[in-house]
Structure 1
Amino acid sequence: MKKFLTATDKKIEEFISKHSDVVLSSSIHVLADEIGVSSSSISKYIKKIGFRSYSRFKVNLAQQNSQSIDEQIDKDDSIKTIQSKLIKTVTRSYEMTIELIDDDTLDRVIDLLKNANKIYTFGVGASGLVCSDIYFKLSRIGKNIVYHTDSHIQLASLSNATEKDLVIGVSYSASTREVNAAFEIAKERGIPTVSITGQGNGNLDALSTYCLKVPRHEKSIRSAAITSRNDSLFLVDLLYLGLLQKDERRANDILESSYKLTHQLRK
């Protein structure tokens, strides 16, 4: 590959190798100014080394630079050091998640959430925590949403689901059997589906109407799904805020009513 690189390509490559942090925090136009080349030169270089876009390249670069939180923390680290390492890991992971977001897809998913008669959520383990967050957020603004921690009850809840409903599945591996089974049922019945999964292709992708991705930079066997959980919750927050924005008056009325009811407990 090296012999096909122009002098400008080599200049870009050298800067990236020495200043990856600058690349990760910069738009293509800002990076072009930093290097002293045109943004089109960077685009051509990115495609030449095998990436479709600058954003995809940044995600790959961030994955190369990142380590799992278990690998970063040493046994002699102080609590302050752990705090610092954790915030860096979470911040970097959020930045990678943003790079994976397709705004049009996110907007369509928000419309599905707004218009669905009933919403069914599926996820187990750490992904179940994300489902719980979806349930609590959407139920607070009056959405008809179903979530059960028991996988058998989860599947049984789909018995009366129709194409006017929505099924949401959370699975970092995209191969969780319980979630995939729910999506297979939904597909047979023509029910739209939204998955939140790790970057890359999995069985769940083919069953999904829309896929929302989080970075895949954790091992299959993890002591805690720290970054994948946080990234998924970040996506849920975006969906929730987008839904509030699209249905602001109704949501505010319901939130105010909910506040008045719960405030009575403080008297």
Structure 2
Amino acid sequence: MRDDRVDLIKIIQKSYSRLSKGQKLIAQFIMNNYDKAAFMTASKLGIKVGVSESTVVRFANALGYEGYPQLQQELQELIKTKLTTVQRLEMSNDYTNEGAVLKKVLKADMDNIKATIEEMDDVVFQKVIDSIFNAKRIYIIGLRSSSTLAEYLGFYLNLILDNVKIVTPGVSDVFEQMIRIGKDDVVIGMSFPRYSANTLNALNFTKEQGALVIGITDSKGSPISAISDYTLIARSNMASFVDSLVAPLSLINALVVAVGMREKSEIANTFSTLERIWEKHNVYNDKNTIL
């Protein structure tokens, strides 16, 4: 591997014009799907792109690597740290045409949902649901951009279950909110690029206390995947300065529905009570009033 840590995506972009036709196909695939390519062998990458394994090896050589394993290792390092916001902006060439942005973003979101469906392990999903119901307490943590996902999951699980706690950033430190966590508890941790160090630290702490950890993240190369007892993968690829959280949100919807279906009769009573409260206090504007 090269001694200098020049960004891999930049190297591919700079080298693109002098690559062979087959190597350009590899380059394009890696730039669009670096999280998938990071865990493919040279043979599988060649098959996926439609070139020979030797072409993949020569591609690695053309970028300055001794061989494909060195390129793959750097790809995996890229996954761990992801890209800085500035680097993502530099990758956003396809989004310069404002008229095409809407379709490109929606298409990327569709691709993320499709990949999430294809890669979802139904057995792991079932075990996650079982773990939620077996837990004494359920802690949900997601910081920075993932805080929206954590709040969303917590909001709905709180309507179904009475043992849910959302860990939030603020005056009270994250560790203070999780200080009583124990071996009978479950922690659902969410982390998407760029991965929050505080989320990882909190999950490591809960793991040390014996709690079961459920990770919701974007790839097996995510930092929280290595410490999670169960990991649910939801793709969030977006070659821009923001990440797509559409597939993660869809996965969370599936979790809520699956939990709700087990408690169908109980939540029916809960929502009947809530409807009366909402109507009494005018929580929703259900009147078709013409202003």
Q: TM-score, normalised by structure 2?
A: 0.61
Alignment partner of 1:74 is 2:96:
yes
Q: How does 1:170-209 map to 2 (within 5 A)?
A: 170-173=190-193, 175-209=195-229
8 Å contact 2:144–2:196 — kept in the other structure?
Answer: no
Q: Describe how 1:62-101 pairs up with structure 2 within 5 A.
A: 70-77=92-99, 81-101=100-120
Shift of 1:256: 2.0
| Inter-partner Cα distance in structure 2 for 1:87 and 1:126 | 19
The letter for the 2-side match of 1:235 is L
- TM-fit CA distance, 1:171: 0.7
Query: Residue 50 in 1 paired to residue 74 in 2?
Result: no
Which residue does the alignment assign to 2:250? 234
Segments of structure 1 that go 5 or more residues without pairing to the other structure are 1-16, 18-45, 55-66
1:10: which partner in 2? none
Let me know the Cα RMSD of the aligned residues.
2.9
Kindly state the Cα deviation for residue 76 of structure 1 after the two structures are TM-superposed.
Answer: 4.3
Distance, in Å, in 1 between the alignment partners of 2:249 and 2:43 is 33
1:76/1:139 Cα in 2 relative to 1: closer, same or farther (>3 Å)? closer
Comparing 130-139 with 208-217, which one deviates more in the overlay? 208-217
Residues 123 and 170 in structure 1, CA contact (< 8 A), matched pair in contact too = yes
Partner residue of 1:102?
A: 121
Q: Distance in 2 between matches of 1:185 and 1:47?
A: 34
What percent identity do the matched residue pairs reach?
Answer: 19
1:192 maps to a residue whose letter is L
SS in 2 for 1:121: strand
**Residue in structure 1 matched with residue 271 of structure 2 by the alignment:** 255
Q: In 1, Cα distance between the equivalents of 2:158 and 2:115?
A: 29
Match of 1:224 in 2: 242
Amino acid at match of 2:108: T
Report how far residue 48 of structure 1 moved.
Answer: 10
Contact (CA 8 Å) 2:214, 2:229: kept in 1 or not? yes
After superposition, residues 158-173 of structure 1 pair within 5 angstroms as 158-173=178-193
- Matches for 1:91-130 after TM superposition, within 5 Å: 91-130=110-149
- 1:174 touches 1:202 (CA, 8 Å); kept in 2? no
For 2:199, the aligned partner's letter is V
Q: Matches of 2:164 and 2:43 in 1, distance apart? A: 45
The amino acid of 2:257's aligned partner reads L
Q: What is the aligned length?
A: 202
> Normalized per residue, which structure has more helix?
1
Instruction: For residue 94 of structure 1, report the CA deviation from its aligned partner.
Output: 0.7
Q: CA deviation at 1:252?
A: 1.9
What do residues 178-212 of structure 1 show as CA deviations (whole Å, max 9, x unaligned)?
A: 11112112111111111111213233122111111
Structure 2: gaps of 5 or more residues: 1-24, 26-39, 49-87, 284-291
Provide the residue aligned with 2:234 in structure 1. 214
1:46-101 CA deviation, whole Å, 9 max, x = no partner?
999438xx9xxxxxxxxxxxx99954433441xxx544333322222110111121
Tell me which amino acid in the other structure corresponds to 1:193: V
Distance 2:139 2:126 in 1: 19
CA distance in 1 between counterparts of 2:195 and 2:144 reads 13
SS of corresponding position for 1:202: coil
